[in-house]
Amino acid sequence: MVATQTKNELLDAALSYARRGWRVFPVHTLLPSGACSCAKPECAPGGKKEKSIGKHPRTAHGLNDATTDERTIRQWWAQWPDANIGIGTGAESGLIVVDIDGDCELPDCLRDLPRTITAQTARGKHLYLAYPDGAKIGNRTKIAGVPIDLRGQGGYVIGPPSLHASGIRYDWLVEPWDCELAEPSAELIAWLTEPKAHANGKAHVTGKP
Ligand SMILES: [Zn+2]
pLDDT for the residue 92: 94
pLDDT for the residue 102: 85
Residue 54 lies in a domain: yes
> What's the CA-to-centroid distance between 176 and ligand 1, angstroms?
28
Record the pTM: 0.90
Residue 141 lies in a domain: yes
> What's the CA-to-centroid distance between 14 and ligand 1, angstroms?
20
Residue 79 lies in a domain: yes
> What's the CA-to-centroid distance between 43 and ligand 1, angstroms?
5
Residue 47 lies in a domain: yes
> What's the CA-to-centroid distance between 37 and ligand 1, angstroms?
6
Domain range for 31 is 9-205
Question: Which residues of the chain are modeled with pLDDT < 50?
Answer: 1, 197-204
> What's the CA-to-centroid distance between 154 and ligand 1, angstroms?
20
Residue 14 lies in a domain: yes
In the chain, how many domains are there? 1
> What's the CA-to-centroid distance between 24 and ligand 1, angstroms?
18
Per-residue model confidence as pLDDT tens digits over 172-193: 999 999 999 999 999 999 999 8
pLDDT for the residue 147: 92
pLDDT for the residue 103: 81
> What's the CA-to-centroid distance between 163 and ligand 1, angstroms?
13
> What's the CA-to-centroid distance between 58 and ligand 1, angstroms?
9
> What's the CA-to-centroid distance between 167 and ligand 1, angstroms?
15
pLDDT for the residue 198: 46
> What is the DSSP annotation of the chain?
-PPPPPP-HHHHHHHHHHHTT--EEEE--B-TTSSBTT--TTSSTTSTTGGGTTTSBSSTTGGGG-B--HHHHHHHHHH-TT-EEEEE-BTTTTEEEEEE-SS-PPPHHHHTPPP--EEE-SSSEEEEEEPPTT-----EESGGGSSEEEE-TT-EEEETTPBPTTSPBPEEEE-TTS-PPBPPPHHHHHHHH-GGG-TT---EE----
Residue 122 lies in a domain: yes
Residue 3 lies in a domain: no
> What's the CA-to-centroid distance between 68 and ligand 1, angstroms?
24
pLDDT for the residue 197: 44
